[in-house]
Amino acid sequence: MEASKVNQLKLFIQQCDSNPALLQDPALKFFRDYLEKLGAKLPASAYGKGESAKKTEAKDSFVDESDDDMPELEEQFGPSSTSPKVPEETASDDEVVESEVELDNEGVIEPDNDPPQKMGDPSIEVTDEKRDEAQTAKSKAMEAMADGDLDEAVNHLTEAIECNPTSAIIYATRASVFVKMKKPNAAIRDANAAIKINPDSAKGYKWRGMARAMLGHWEEAAKDLHLASRLDYDEEISAVLKKVEPNVHKIEDHHRKYERLRREKDERKKERERQRRRAEAQAAYEKAKKQEKASTCKPCGATGGCSGGMPGGFPGGMPAGGMPAGGMPGGFPGGMPGDVDMSKILNDPELMAAFSDPDVMTALQDVMKNPANLAKYQANPKIAPVIAKMMGKFAGK
């Protein structure tokens, strides 16, 4: 497409952006339909009376992350009304794609791809005679620059560099000529050489910054020009910065905007993951709760059922109708007659509550195995009263 047509299209889009009501024109309905087809969300002012946005079916790109056991859970117990819902991934959670920044690129040129210019040999010894020759060549270059003969100036400066490759100012001077010749890459090579020789070379940073501005490398250019200005301020640097800095601010705002969008996208992803885990934990809890409820013994309220009538089950079980003749296995002191009325125990709420305590049941089983172990629990404030009450029940029959 021709550059003029591209510029016209850009101007039209800018006008639509500032005044969406332009899209109410029936002649532009095809363009509005095209934008909606691409998924664009137009403001209400873009539609005329009686018109509205077309409803499009959103394509769900959400990947199902539900657990395999969830259908089984719902099949067994039905869907939970209290389980937290995991938010679905929406189109706004797709990969963030950066748009181009609209910059003022006036004055930006195509990079020069000439072979690298001759550079000096830093390993040679520079004598006083060589320094004098370098100064003479530099003077001739300055005269050629004054006459507008930039090619001749480059030749003389190249000669000066070969005579004294340790001079940062000669490299910086040739960099300035390359900038004038609109050869920014060549200028950057010379400026780099000048800065390598002298890290505080104000001219090196100045001409490298200007060369980078010519290439549209706005952030790098601003950094060089600000440093050059701090080392040795001049009006030329200030003038270039006035053009460079607005573009840098636009780029920084652009980066901040999309960095914020990426952070928000990551936060939404983390929140979905947290809610998914909470939903899994809630579902597992409800499943375990219902299974526990299903396995609870209704007559005594104990979990895990009763073995012969006692919660948790004594070793060997306890048949209905009381203990077998001869007393409790191992026997409490004094033995236990076989005609004990177990209803006295089962109907005692305090004993039934005690039987649900694992520590109490462990102690009772220990005493039943070996009555001598009763002495271990006589001082235990939790277990001794239970044993005493049971013995009282047996004694009272």
pLDDT of residue 395: 64
pLDDT of residue 336: 46
Cα–Cα distance for residue pair 210/205, rounded to 1 Å? 9
* CB contact at 8 A, 183 and 115: no
- Whether the full predicted model's pTM is greater than 0.75, yes or no, is no
pLDDT of residue 39: 77
Q: Convert the pLDDT of each residue in 248-259 to its tens digit.
A: 988 888 888 878
pLDDT of residue 84: 52
Cα–Cα distance for residue pair 265/269, rounded to 1 Å? 6
* CB contact at 8 A, 262 and 254: no
Which distant-in-sequence residues (6+ apart) come within 8 Å of 221 by Cβ? Answer: 209, 210, 212, 213, 240, 244
Q: Convert the pLDDT of each residue in 328-357 to its tens digit.
A: 433 444 444 445 566 677 778 888 888 888
pLDDT (tens place) for every residue of the chain, 397 residues total: 677 777 777 777 877 777 777 777 777 778 788 888 887 778 877 777 667 666 544 344 333 444 444 444 344 434 444 445 555 655 555 566 666 767 878 889 999 989 999 999 989 999 999 999 999 999 999 999 999 999 999 999 999 999 999 999 999 999 999 999 999 999 999 999 999 999 999 999 999 999 999 999 999 999 999 999 999 989 999 999 999 999 998 888 888 887 888 888 888 889 999 999 998 888 888 888 888 888 765 544 544 444 444 444 443 334 333 333 333 433 444 444 445 566 677 778 888 888 888 888 888 888 888 888 888 888 888 888 888 888 777 665 5
* CB contact at 8 A, 333 and 370: no
**CA nearest to 217, candidates 248, 186, 241:** 248
pLDDT of residue 68: 43
**Taking the mean position of all CA atoms in its chain, how far away is CA 216?**
31
What is the SS3 assignment for 19? Answer: coil
Task: Report the DSSP beta bridge partners of residue 306.
Answer: 311
Residue 27 identity: A
**CA nearest to 324, candidates 340, 345, 348, 301:** 340
* Residue 174 backbone phi and psi in degrees, to 5: -65, -35
* CB contact at 8 A, 172 and 194: yes
pLDDT of residue 321: 36
